Amino acid sequence: MTTETLPERWIPCEEDASGHSFGPEELAAVTEVLGTGRLLSDSGGFVGRLETAFAARYGAPAAVACSSATSAIHAALVALGLGRGAEVITTPLSDIGGVAPIAAAGLVPVFADVDPITGNLDPDSVEAAVSARTEAIVVTHLVGKPCDMTRIAALAQRHGLAIIEDCAQAYDARHADVPVGTFGAVACYSTQQTKHISAGEGGLMLVNDPSLTVPLRSWINKGVEGGVRSRTEDHPIAGVNARMTELQAAVLCAQLEKLTGFVATRVARAQELSDALADLPGITCPSSGPGELQTYWKYLLSVDPEALPGVRDRLDAELDARHAVVQPCYLHLPLFTKSLFDRHPTRLVGEPEAATGRRDAKADAFDGMREFIDRAVVLWWNERITGEDVARISDLVHTVVAAG
């Protein structure tokens, strides 16, 4: 095939309408907001409705809407009241928005290693990373695959650590028949353009510890307690403004109604692709344990570099030419290599003390992470993918693997 005959794009993509389902429902909700003239509200409007529906979806006591997952994680760290300079264990393979808030909140990110196939935090490495200064863990369920929350919750309890779940990529996922997002004190979701549901930007916090609802709301509302129209005279904390608008919430209320269907399609198409690739030695498709539901923010293929030398890179290039793969930057450069850590202290598992200065991607104790980076192929995935898209991808993978 020459480049000219290639279709523009093989997979619908969440960066534009091809990978999203915005329709009359979103339009009606936005029109309703404009009709009221109240584009900011935290009582009785769409923000309130969204929070109630989101908490109910996962059986959590409360939810708080905000401006992004980045601000949600920041709010959660602040609301937990961690000690100044406390350590927070997290993953080197995530969106920077999952980890920068740790440094921004004056805390020390401690990076643990990940599983070579899933890229999720390795509970053994998390346990090895715990020190006397560790107070919390930020757990990211990468591309919608749940982390082993049974083991992570157990070790967190043993060491007295708070858990913040980063569920930006894991709407509706389940571990051991329990929704992810309900294992820790707070779980953070993103409604940015590329996520399962979107309003362009936005964030949601699922609050499992109800005592945190007031400090979470206060932090995202400039330190004011009591909501948008509160007349309090004192301002006890230096908060930020990270509120969600009614327009965003209107879109998200309509999107949330569709989420079950979105997830069902993502899961069904993923299963079709996994079935079609099951006979290929050296290719590992996503697999799920008992009681586990992964909800495929992206579809992650893992190519064994020893069984299939060079195939990962060729497959990535072929799929990239068809606009079918995402290249998240954290798959090339782990977060601890970023220059922000020239100014903020960090610690890697195995290091005795936190220190400033970015670290090298070849750092010790990250074999799992490097193997993951060498093996991963990450396909765009969303509710608009068809059986034909899946068949085209399967054919291409078979062809590239056969060519060796």
Ligand X SMILES: *Cc1c(COP(=O)(O)O)cnc(C)c1O
Q: Give the shortest CB-64-to-ligand X separation in angstroms.
A: 14
- DSSP string of 326-394, one letter each residue: ---GGGTS-GGGSGGGGTS-BEETT-SS-BSS---TT-TT-HHHHHHHHHEEEE---TT--HHHHHHHH
| Helix, strand, coil distribution of the chain in percent, nearest 5 | 40, 15, 45
Q: Is 255 in the site for ligand X (CB under 6 A)?
A: no
Residue nearest to ligand X (CB): 97
Q: Give the shortest CB-201-to-ligand X separation in angstroms.
A: 6
Nearer to ligand X, 92 or 203 (CB): 203
The CA-based angle 216-136-193, given to 5 degrees, is: 55
Of these, 41, 120, 140, 346, which contacts ligand X (CB under 6 A)?
140
Q: Give the shortest CB-7-to-ligand X separation in angstroms.
A: 27
Q: Is 274 in the site for ligand X (CB under 6 A)?
A: no
Q: Is 98 in the site for ligand X (CB under 6 A)?
A: yes
Rounded Cα distance between 290 and 400, Å, is: 32
Q: What is the footprint of ligand X within residues 157-196 (CB under 6 A)?
A: 166, 168-169, 190, 192
The span of 54-62, 91-99, 247-255, 288-296 binding ligand X (CB under 6 A) equals 91-99
Nearer to ligand X, 140 or 248 (CB): 140
Rounded Cα distance between 51 and 204, Å, is: 8
Q: Give the shortest CB-70-to-ligand X separation in angstroms.
A: 3
Spatial CB neighbours of 2, under 8 Å, sequence gap ≥ 6: none
Of these, 19, 97, 334, 368, which contacts ligand X (CB under 6 A)?
97
Determine the residue type at 327. Q
Other beta carbons less than 10 A from residue 74's beta carbon:
24
Q: Distances from the Cα of 301 to the Cαs of 150, 167, 267, in angstroms?
A: 25, 20, 15
Other beta carbons less than 10 A from residue 362's beta carbon:
8
Nearer to ligand X, 298 or 315 (CB): 298
Nearer to ligand X, 101 or 368 (CB): 101
Other beta carbons less than 10 A from residue 163's beta carbon:
22
Q: Give the shortest CB-51-to-ligand X separation in angstroms.
A: 17
Nearer to ligand X, 149 or 168 (CB): 168
Q: Give the shortest CB-170-to-ligand X separation in angstroms.
A: 8
Q: Give the shortest CB-99-to-ligand X separation in angstroms.
A: 8
Rounded Cα distance between 191 and 196, Å, is: 7
Alpha helices (runs of H) in 93-237, residue ranges in sequence order: 100-104, 123-129, 149-159, 213-220
Classified as helix, coil or strand, 313 is helix
Q: Give the shortest CB-266-to-ligand X separation in angstroms.
A: 15
Q: Is 95 in the site for ligand X (CB under 6 A)?
A: yes
Question: Which residue matches tokens 């930007």?
Answer: 201
List the one residue out of 57, 329, 301, 96 whose CA is nearest residue 190.
96
- Cβ pair 129, 136 in contact under 8 A: no
Q: Is 294 in the site for ligand X (CB under 6 A)?
A: no
Of these, 41, 94, 208, 284, which contacts ligand X (CB under 6 A)?
94
Rg from Cα positions in the chain: 21
Nearer to ligand X, 169 or 213 (CB): 169
Q: Give the shortest CB-293-to-ligand X separation in angstroms.
A: 18
Binding residues for ligand X, how many (CB under 6 A)? 14
Taking residues 54 to 83 in sequence order and writing x for each that binds ligand X by CB under 6 A, - otherwise, the string is --------------xxx-------------
Q: Give the shortest CB-352-to-ligand X separation in angstroms.
A: 29
Nearer to ligand X, 94 or 255 (CB): 94
Of these, 19, 203, 286, 368, which contacts ligand X (CB under 6 A)?
203
Q: Interface residues with ligand X (CB under 6 A)?
A: 68-70, 94-95, 97-98, 140, 166, 168-169, 190, 192, 203
